[in-house]
Amino acid sequence: MGKSNETFANEAKTRFDESVDKLDAATLSTLNQARHRALDGLHGRRSRWLTWAPAAGVTAAVVVAVMMASPSQVDTLPTELTDMEILLGEDSIEMLEDLEFYSLVGMLEEESDVG
């Protein structure tokens, strides 16, 4: 099947080339002018986009800088509770049964923050 496709493609190319060779000069000139107009339009669209690209980049950089410089609007919860706050809190007393485990987790978090 591949051989018949190649044969078909070669014959189609040959017929197309013959038909192009038979075109008169006026038609060739019209086709060439249309081709150049299409290419000029393509370049015009690209150049308009490229003129705005630096402005868009600067705007994006300013937005990122403002977001990084402004203080966070989210209230953070205190992460460390004293033993007394745990005992006086309304949390379940079951957490106190695994106090050694939670102490180990706290130490590991402190080590990972330092390192």
Q: How far apart are CA 65 and CA 58, in angstroms?
A: 10
* pLDDT score for 99: 76
Q: Same domain, yes or no, for 84 and 67?
A: no
Owner of token pair 């078909």: 8
How far apart CA 53 and CA 99 sit, in angstroms, is: 57
Residue 8 has what pLDDT?
92
Query: pLDDT of 18-35, one tens digit each?
Result: 888 888 888 888 988 998
Residue 98 has φ and ψ, to the nearest 5°, of -105, 40
CA distance 55 to 64: 14
Those residues whose C-beta lies under 8 Å from the C-beta of residue 86, and which sit 6 or more positions away, are: 95, 96
Q: Are 9 and 46 found together in one domain?
A: yes
List the single range of 3-17, 43-57, 101-115 with lowest mean pLDDT.
43-57
Query: What is the arithmetic mean of pLDDT over 33-58?
Result: 76
Q: Which domain holds residue 91?
A: 78-115
In this structure, the answer to whether residues 22 and 56 fall within a common structural domain is yes
Indicate the number of domains in the chain: 2
- Residue 86: CB atoms within 10 A of its CB come to 14
| Domain boundary, last residue among 56, 71, 86 | 71
